[in-house]
Amino acid sequence: MDGSKAETKKDIPENMTLSVVIISYNVKSFLRQCLKSILASKNIDSLEIVVVDNYSFDGSNEMLKVEFPQVKLIQNDKNLGFSKAVNKGIEKSTGDYICLINPDSLIKDDTLSKLHKYMVNNTDTGIAGCKVLDADGSLQLASRRKFPTPLVALPRLLGLSKLFPKSKLFGQYNQTFMDDSVIQEVDAVSGSCMMFPKKLVDEIGDFDERFFMYFEDTDFCFRAKKAGYKVIYNPETQIIHYKGESLKHAPFDVIDTFHNAMIQFFKKHSSEFPLWRFLKILIYSAIGLRKITEEFRKYASTIISTIFDIFSVSIAFISAIAVWYPYNYNEPVTIKLIIGHWPLYLTFVLFWILVSVGVNLYRKNYLSYGGAIVVSILTFLLASSITYLVSIFAYSRAVITFASVFTALLTAFWRISVHMMFRYKWLKIFHLTPFFTRRALIIGSDNESLRIGNLITQTPEADFDLIGFVDDSINAEISDNRFLGRTEDLGGIVESQKINEIILPEKSFSTNKVIDLIQRLAGSNVIFKFVPDGEHHLIGKGIIENLGGVPLLDIEFPLFNKVHLVSKRMFDIIFSFVSILITLPIHLFFLVLFKVEKRTIWSANNQSCRILQYKTSNQFVSELPILFSILRGKISFVGGQVVDFEQADPNLLIKPGITGLSQLKPNKIDENMYHSFDQYYIQNHSFIFDLEILLKSLLRI
């Protein structure tokens, strides 16, 4: 270190201006929370915030101008990439120190002051970063890194660093073999929170604009170290980084951009890495393998679901043959017999895949057990038709029938198992369908917490089961059975109550406490969601959930489509008729004894209708006559609330049903919210949707 860098502590005043530079791209909700956490910072006398917007279209700029007029906003007329945007932000900043912070981050109130103080007291440090946490409290490996020399990068590219994270040989890139709670000198820190003196830019140059995104921070750290400065990882303060939110709307291939940036880094510094010339082909091969792996991850749910389903179909076919041939032909099951059915098996699998694609089973509803049953039924109809048209399949009609039944059971079973594993915390899933019962608790017991509690229980899009509230004090409006305990007991409460999601109101807790709680529960397989003050949405890893309902403006209504109306009515007729036949002795018993009473309820369009009930204390038996009302078309299996005519007109938008979205809610629904549930049902109706609701009502999962 030369003398020019060895300034003494007293030469540098601690109240220097600090400029926070944020590069934003379509992350309005995350940016708002990030800015609030920055503005809550302590022990910083002079703070400047510069936001460089890379041509967002989500209203970020308008939000900044209204809610954060003190922020210096730079609006680009196109997406310039990260490096160019950073350079523009640094150019417009006035601080002696610069701190780059990603917009999808939450910082503690001491993050800026601790990093700043460390740099002031250690003038040989050119760049400092903090401990970066994922949304579940785990360490983001990018917090500290070594430069990706071929021998360091290869284990990561080949996945060996994940298999052997504690190995000094394979864990070099992310330093996973070192204690992450100790301040240490590293090669590079995460660009999600990176502080450096502005004069460093004057000495080593701007961020290299040849890097559109990725490796620009690594390159900057490399040049700083080459100039004689230290790069420090300081875990004394932490941030939460949601990671990748800006990339959701990126108009370019993120995987290609990452790997091209790595190649660009090696080419730029090839003189520093002589082994690069000899290992170039191997590195390119490893990068290609990594790209294939990343592509697989993008479609992993579809691929894995398809594999599970094909496996289920295979087991179903073998089981069908094992059941039918010994029973009907007294013939033992052999490999030859099973292989002899290969044309029928391949045809069935092909129809399964085609039908699955047709009903979008694997696009977003891959865990829909109702969808799997519908696909099984349609596949059976197509495959059985083939047995009449193609003579080679004619002898296997019984096998088709048994195989279809077994397929429906097995494909629904593994999906139901996933639901159950999620409920009992054996599995973590971030992107959920409305049919995942999500056991949630709210931290806080003030009026804002109660408001959020009402929101999540009244939202049709997400099936929340609000278990209760956790706080260090109790609100008198919360009943004893809803108050679960104090925050110090949170770990035990999460475990005993099988909590899947923890909801944190912004108003109730500081970012510091939020980060502390997330760290404390790291590894507990629970998802954290953050609710901005007064807002109607949840912010979590990779998703923003709306809790405000969807207005009925300029949208389609599938339920009112003739095809949907006919299919819904046909299902009601067939299923009610079959159910009446099955329960016929019960009906005859009560009808003969005249143990029948009439009940008037509200129907759609402010009309009333009469249904029958049997006079018995058994609720299930008493409601069996409703099957006749369904057969006549007065009500439906799946519909709106059943409301007695003596009560106020609920203004139902759809026919009442014995079950429905609002009836599925484990928490009581406010009468004023019935419409939002009916609206959601109208907008998302399909035969699969109805079947899913029915199955969930029966299975209670």
Phi, psi for residue 379 in degrees, rounded to 5: -65, -40
Phi, psi for residue 543 in degrees, rounded to 5: -160, 145
Phi, psi for residue 516 in degrees, rounded to 5: -65, -40
Instruction: Kindly report the average pLDDT of the chain as a whole number.
Output: 81
Task: Give dist(CA 375, CA 73) in Å, integer.
Answer: 52
Q: Quick one: 310 and 293 in the same domain?
A: no
Q: Does residue 430 form part of some domain? A: no
Report the pLDDT value the prediction gives residue 535, as an integer from 0 to 100: 60
Q: Does residue 578 form part of some domain? A: yes
Q: Quick one: 495 and 542 in the same domain?
A: yes
Q: Quick one: 305 and 294 in the same domain?
A: no
Q: What's the CATH number where 55 sits?
A: 3.90.550.10
Stretch 145-167: mean pLDDT: 80
Phi, psi for residue 609 in degrees, rounded to 5: -145, 155
Q: Does residue 426 form part of some domain? A: no
Q: Does residue 275 form part of some domain? A: yes
549: pLDDT strictly greater than 80 = no
pTM of the entire predicted model: 0.66
Report the pLDDT value the prediction gives residue 205, as an integer from 0 to 100: 93
Q: Quick one: 336 and 276 in the same domain?
A: no
What token pair was written down for 383? 């495959």
Q: Does residue 272 form part of some domain? A: yes
Q: Quick one: 695 and 613 in the same domain?
A: yes
Task: Give dist(CA 187, CA 532) in Å, integer.
Answer: 36
Q: Where does the pLDDT of residue 581 fall: very low under 50, low under 70, confident under 90, or very high at 90 and above?
A: very high
Please give the tally of structural domains in the chain: 4
587-603 core/surface letters (b: 16 or more CB in 10 A; e: else): beebeeeeeeeebebbb
Question: Per DSSP, which regions of 301-457 are E strands?
Answer: 438-443
- pLDDT tens, 623-634? 899 999 999 999
Q: What's the CATH number where 489 sits?
A: 3.40.50.720
Per the structure, the complete domain to which residue 240 belongs is given by 3-298
User: In this predicted structure, which of 120-134, 151-165, 202-216 has the lowest mean pLDDT?
Assistant: 151-165
Among residues 426, 457, 372, which one has the least CA distance to residue 670? 457
Q: Where does the pLDDT of residue 547 fall: very low under 50, low under 70, confident under 90, or very high at 90 and above?
A: low
- pLDDT tens, 53-85? 998 888 889 999 999 999 999 999 888 888 999
Contact 457, 664 (CB under 8 A): no
Beta-carbon count within 10 A of 151 CB: 13
Question: Left (φ > 0), alpha (ψ -120 to 50) or beta: where does 542 sit?
Answer: left
Strands 464-470 and 438-443: parallel
Contact 49, 31 (CB under 8 A): no
503: pLDDT strictly greater than 90 = no
Residue after which a domain boundary falls, among 388, 417, 446: 417
Q: Quick one: 112 and 194 in the same domain?
A: yes
Portion of the chain with pLDDT greater than 90, in percent? 27
Contact 701, 573 (CB under 8 A): no
Residue after which a domain boundary falls, among 352, 387, 417: 417
Report the pLDDT value the prediction gives residue 245, as an integer from 0 to 100: 59
Q: Cβ contacts of residue 697 below 8 Å, gap of 6+? A: 659, 663, 664
DSSP run (H or E) holding 543? strand 543-546
Report the pLDDT value the prediction gives residue 430, as an integer from 0 to 100: 53
686: pLDDT strictly greater than 80 = no
What token pair was written down for 90? 């640094």
Q: Where does the pLDDT of residue 2 fall: very low under 50, low under 70, confident under 90, or very high at 90 and above?
A: very low
Q: Quick one: 462 and 540 in the same domain?
A: yes
Q: Does residue 662 form part of some domain? A: yes
Q: Where does the pLDDT of residue 392 fall: very low under 50, low under 70, confident under 90, or very high at 90 and above?
A: low
User: In this predicted structure, which of 46-50, 544-548, 653-657 has the lowest mean pLDDT?
Assistant: 544-548
Q: Quick one: 595 and 685 in the same domain?
A: yes
233: pLDDT strictly greater than 90 = yes
Q: Cβ contacts of residue 561 below 8 Å, gap of 6+? A: none
Q: Quick one: 512 and 570 in the same domain?
A: no
- Comparison of pLDDT for 253 and 322, the residue scoring more: 322
13: pLDDT strictly greater than 50 = no
- pLDDT tens, 106-129? 999 999 999 999 999 999 999 999
Please give the distance of CA 530 from its chain centroid, rounded to a whole number: 13
Mean pLDDT is highest, among 280-284, 677-681, 686-690, for 686-690
Q: Quick one: 126 and 258 in the same domain?
A: yes
Stretch 194-213: mean pLDDT: 92
695: pLDDT strictly greater than 50 = yes
What token pair was written down for 660? 């429905």
Report the pLDDT value the prediction gives residue 431, as an integer from 0 to 100: 52
Q: Quick one: 409 and 530 in the same domain?
A: no
Residue after which a domain boundary falls, among 277, 298, 319: 298
- pLDDT tens, 453-498? 887 777 666 667 888 898 887 766 676 678 888 888 888 888 888 8
- Comparison of pLDDT for 264 and 622, the residue scoring more: 622
- pLDDT tens, 292-339? 777 777 777 788 889 999 999 999 999 999 998 888 888 888 898 888
Enumerate the β-bridge partners of residue 600.
Answer: 610
Report the pLDDT value the prediction gives residue 11, as an integer from 0 to 100: 42
Q: Does residue 125 form part of some domain? A: yes
Report the pLDDT value the prediction gives residue 6, as an integer from 0 to 100: 41
Among residues 19, 688, 31, 36, which one has the least CA distance to residue 362? 688
Report the pLDDT value the prediction gives residue 3, as an integer from 0 to 100: 39
Q: Where does the pLDDT of residue 440 fall: very low under 50, low under 70, confident under 90, or very high at 90 and above?
A: confident
Q: Quick one: 308 and 294 in the same domain?
A: no
Q: Does residue 612 form part of some domain? A: yes
